[in-house]
A and B are shown apart, each in its own frame.
Chain A
Amino acid sequence: MNFDFSDDQKQLRDQARKFLAEKCPPKAVRVVLDGKETYDRALWKGFADMGFLGVAIPEEYGGAGAGHLELCVIAEEVGRALAPVPFSSTVYLAAEALMLAGSDAQKQVWLPKIASGETIGTLALFEGTGNPSPKAIKLEASNGVLNGTKKPVADGAIADLIIVAARTASTGRDSDISLFLVDAKAGGVEAKALTNLDPTRGQAELTFANCKAEPLGAAGEGWSIISQVLDRAAVLTAFEQVGGSDRALEMGRDYALDRIAFGRPIGSFQAVKHMLADMYVSATLARSNAYYGAWALSTNAPELPEAAASARISATQAYQHCGKNNIQVHGGMGFTWEFDCHMYYRRANALALGLGSLSYWEDQLIDRMRKRNAA
């Protein structure tokens, strides 16, 4: 048994960490946080040059053809550095959907452009309040055009390629939903940027009005593809969350070592120490669940749906826990705009919702465990 990343994969992680430490320090994140840019274009170009965008894309479509374990270690570093780039929407959602359901022609057109950084992609799924569900999809597709509104859409205002979940029938079954591919530059879609919890990542409302679209995958297969994409994205996002949890824990630990009160480092008080020990426990459980998700994702194992839900829940809990208690360890300074703590708190809470909320994934996990037990 070797339930760990390989030496090569660890080397890639170190390389990504070094690259991000240099190109994406907190002050670079703040340029986007303060609204001066919608995303870090130079960093995005750097991601393409480093081969991060196409690491899991096959070589025949312009990628490195390495695999999902390699993508997991990069995701961890992206999360750790709070990279303000549309990585998750482009790579975990759009590229995964294309690889799962795209025709050869669609892959030939879009995947090389994703790998090179030329195309930003996203998935337009949600329509207001609520969790992923075929019933919640009202946007209609007929005769190759889309009509309706999606929100929130991650990176929707900067996306060139939009994968849209649309209603193609009304029988009350999952097969009512089909997926479509929209080239945002071709017109028919209006984007409006929306204020959100984590300004280092964009959210938008997209309005489709007689927007031309081509089918992605077979008609009526939309919900099944979305479910698979969400599972894959859940594992990859879990690595971002694990990276962020670790960083928030380190920040808290470092501050507890440096900050003196009552004549001693605050890290020598058990109340503070135990808070940090509990953060370590959450982060460790999340990492271990994420590793299992990585194994299931990389081998396309039948355990993937259950492993993905576990990874998602555990990582969401850990990042929220580490994010909020990092502020608590910092005391008043942790609640200033100047200190970086709030950027992790914001990201933790935004990531907790992006693929559906904690309670949605809890429900999913129990369904999936029951299915396994019944089998």
Chain B
Amino acid sequence: MNFDDTPQEAAFRAEARAWISANAPKQYEDELRASSLGRTALKNANILEVAKAWQKKKADAGWACLHWPKEYGGRGASPIERVIWQQEEGPFGKLSAMFIIGHGMCGPTVMAYASEEHKRQYLPPLASGEKVWCQLFSEPAGGSDVAGLRTRAEKRGDEWVINGQKIWTSGAHYSDYGILLTRTDPTVPKHKGLTMFFLDMKSPGVEVRPIKQASGHSDFNEVYFTDVVIPDSQRLGTVNDGWNVALTTLMNERMSIGAGVATGFPELFDFCSSLMLDDGPAIEDRNVRSKLANWAVKASGLKYTSMRAISALSKGERPGPENSIGKLVAGSMVQDVASYALDLQGAAGVLSGPEAEFAGRFQAMLLRAPGTRVEGGTDEIMRNIIAERVLGLPGDIRVDKDLPFNQVPTKGRA
């Protein structure tokens, strides 16, 4: 049992560290380091431009999408090298947020299902950040139940015509391309009538409307499709096999281990270390200490769970559904941590913004936190995944499993 690099890993780490130290946009390091959930922004620069420039610089030097093959813009690196890179990239890794979906989900799906010509055409600019991709799965009628989606694709000669609406599409407003899951046969059960495509987000008939979130920010969008035309050559997988293609996409989400999940604990520990209560420093208060200790062991438990997963990865094991716990634990923890930090601030906890206590970081965290428990799989879906795929418990009884999709009820109360 040890935390030491192998000589090969150490050499890779040294090379990565030297390159990052010589090339990273250091002027933003402090701001990025201090940014918490709900507050990744730069005061005097457009974060999207800074992120794109950093990604391009990495790609030119062979440090983008490390685990992708070289011919598609990657480095052909091993999974453990990818983890080492993330560790070394540190706060600059926060600049990758806008590329996560493209690199983590769209890219691998294109790689698995597109023609060779398309892969060589589309993957390198995706890797370099010159083109940004989004994932168009969720719909008003299909969130956790994504196979309940209703956006139609109808065949017309060599083309498909798309009509419908997607929702919760991260980054659609700055994306160049998207992968799109549609319904191509409503007369068969829901999982059997889906087909996947990729499309140019600038196609006529695509309309992107930002959603104003409960936090007041807009990270997600609604995307409307009105008679949008997609050539059949941009189909991913066979007709009506879209559910299996989507599973490839979703499986890749789990590869993103080791990046670390925000728990809010380091911020809370710092805050309690500096805050003075009536009877003295907050961190000397018995109640505060008990709360801190409980969250400390969750944060360390997640950290060392991820170390165990990385160790398994370096032995060639594939990460499995057990990695769902990171998001499940951190999601509600960050919400509880933020709420407790405000409680410690008393009436002044109601004030938000950069002038507020602790630069308003906990207020921003509190307002962003509900989203983290929903996006990318709700807490309840995560628990289902653990219960069914790790513990082997039976799936839910699905009343719509064998019904043709067009006979599935659409309203709760008639």
User: Chain A: residues with CB nearer than 8 A to chain B?
Assistant: 1-6, 69, 249, 253, 256-257, 264-265, 267-268, 270, 273-274, 276-278, 280-281, 284-286, 288-289, 291-292, 294-295, 298, 309-310, 313-314, 317, 359, 361-363, 365-366, 369-370, 373
Contacts and interface: CB of A to CB of B under 8 A. Distances in A.
A276 B304 contact: no
Nearest to B9: A1
Q: Which 5 A/B pairs are nearest by Cβ-Cβ distance?
A: A285-B301, A362-B293, A288-B304, A273-B387, A277-B383
A129 B384 CA distance: 43
A313 B293 contact: yes
Task: Classify chain B: how many residues form its interface, as a range.
Answer: 35 or more
B178 to A, nearest CB: 32
Contact of A317 (B80, B269, B297): B297
A298 B4 CA distance: 15
B386 A281 contact: yes
10 contacts: A3-B311, A4-B311, A249-B391, A257-B394, A273-B383, A277-B387, A291-B1, A313-B294, A363-B289, A366-B293
Contact of B300 (A253, A292, A295): A292
Contacts of A366: 283, 289, 292-293, 296
Given A276-B387, A363-B289, A369-B269, A270 B380 contact: yes
Interface stretch (B40-48, B210-218, B322-330): B322-330
Contacts of B394: 257, 264-265, 267-268
Contacts of A365: 293, 296-297
B121 interface: no
A69 B1 CA distance: 8
Dominant SS at the B interface? helix
A285 B298 contact: yes
B314 interface: yes
**Which among B9, B290, B294, B297 has the greatest number of chain A C-beta atoms within 10 A?**
B297
A2 B6 CA distance: 9
A233 to B, nearest CB: 18
B391 A285 contact: no
Contacts of A249: 391
B384 to A, nearest CB: 7
Interface string B303-322: 11101101110110000001
A17 B80 CA distance: 32
B390 A3 contact: no
B395 A2 contact: no
Contact of B273 (A257, A359, A373): A373
B305 A276 contact: no
Contact of A295 (B3, B294, B392, B396): B3
Contact of B3 (A3, A6, A265, A310): A3
B393 interface: yes
A295 B3 CA distance: 9
Interface string B192-235: 00000000000000000000000000000000000000000000
Contacts of B384: 270, 273-274, 277
B2 A295 contact: yes
Given A257-B392, A264-B397, A362-B290, A1 B301 contact: no
B302 interface: yes
Given A3-B1, A253-B391, A284-B301, 17 more contacts: A253-B392, A268-B395, A273-B387, A276-B391, A284-B325, A285-B297, A288-B301, A288-B308, A289-B300, A291-B308, A295-B1, A310-B301, A313-B293, A317-B297, A359-B290, A362-B290, A369-B269
B305 A284 contact: yes
B346 to A, nearest CB: 22
A94 B160 CA distance: 76
A270 B396 contact: yes
A1 B80 CA distance: 9
B289 A3 contact: no
A247 B206 CA distance: 54
Interface string B369-385: 00000000000101110
Contacts of B312: 4
A3 B313 CA distance: 11
Contacts of B269: 369, 373
Contacts of A285: 297-298, 301-302, 305, 325, 329
